[in-house]
């Protein structure tokens, strides 16, 4: 039950307004309470018989107002007010009214979020990104220690963005210390360019006669 007397709720975003809702009751004290209250009035002070009657009346009208809000599909009431009046000098009318709305809690990181709304948003959407934190608490991915590097193997630097890291070497085989870039691994055609400086060899290679 989320009922406030203000026109908005800090930490919550109003998504829909469903109109005015109200709850009403008419109460009267019984004869015994009236007689007891009349004797108490002689000495002054609080009259608990009437105090209990007022509390029960206000709780009843708030419950009726909230039931009307739920019937319309709301989950909160803003701008709630009480009103009362007398009927025939023997009965008291008590009324509660407000505006039924649909609100959603503002999650962490958005403007207007409060600790209450962050906790409500995390409870409504559980997951690693919405876990509510205590003071000083870290997420499982924060402050994680990297796995140890096997003995005799150098730690690999992180690959640049957009470049796929090299595949790990098979078990028992040591990866190369400084692998050459792909462009340096291409075989170069270094045979002589002039015909008089070239002669084919028996194995298909070329001899330099220059």
* Residue 55 tokens, joined: 């509390």
Regarding pTM above 0.75, the answer is: no
DSSP state, residue 32: H
Q: Domains in the chain, ordered, with CATH?
A: 12-25+52-105 (3.30.110.70)
pLDDT digit string, tens, across residues 106-157: 998 889 899 999 988 888 776 555 545 555 555 555 555 666 767 766 666 6
pLDDT digit string, tens, across residues 8-25: 999 999 999 999 999 999
The confidence score (pLDDT) of residue 105 equals 93
Concatenated DSSP letters for 113-156? Answer: --HHHHHHHHHHS-SGGG----TT---TTTTPPPPPPPTT-PPP
Alpha carbon distance 132, 139 (integer Å): 10
């Amino acid at each position: 039950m989320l009922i406030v007397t203000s026109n908005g709720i800090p930490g919550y975003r109003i998504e829909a307004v469903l109109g005015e809702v109200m709850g009403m009751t008419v109460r009267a004290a019984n004869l015994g309470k009236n007689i007891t209250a009349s004797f108490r009035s002689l000495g002054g002070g609080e009259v608990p018989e009437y105090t209990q009657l007022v509390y029960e009346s206000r709780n009843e009208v708030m419950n009726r107002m909230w039931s009307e809000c739920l019937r319309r599909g709301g989950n909160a009431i803003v701008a709630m007010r009480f009103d009362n009046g007398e009927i025939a000098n023997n009965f008291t009318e008590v009324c509660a009214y407000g505006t039924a709305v649909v609100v959603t809690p503002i999650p962490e990181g958005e403007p207007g979020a409060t600790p209450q709304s962050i906790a409500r948003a995390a409870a409504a959407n559980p997951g690693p990104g919405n876990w509510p934190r205590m003071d000083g608490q870290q997420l499982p991915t924060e402050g994680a220690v990297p796995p140890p590097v096997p003995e005799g193997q150098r730690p690999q630097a992180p690959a640049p963005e957009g470049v796929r890291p090299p595949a790990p070497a098979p078990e028992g085989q040591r990866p190369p210390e400084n692998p050459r870039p792909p462009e340096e691994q291409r075989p170069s055609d270094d045979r002589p360019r002039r015909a008089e400086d070239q002669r084919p060899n028996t194995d298909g290679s070329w001899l330099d006669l220059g």
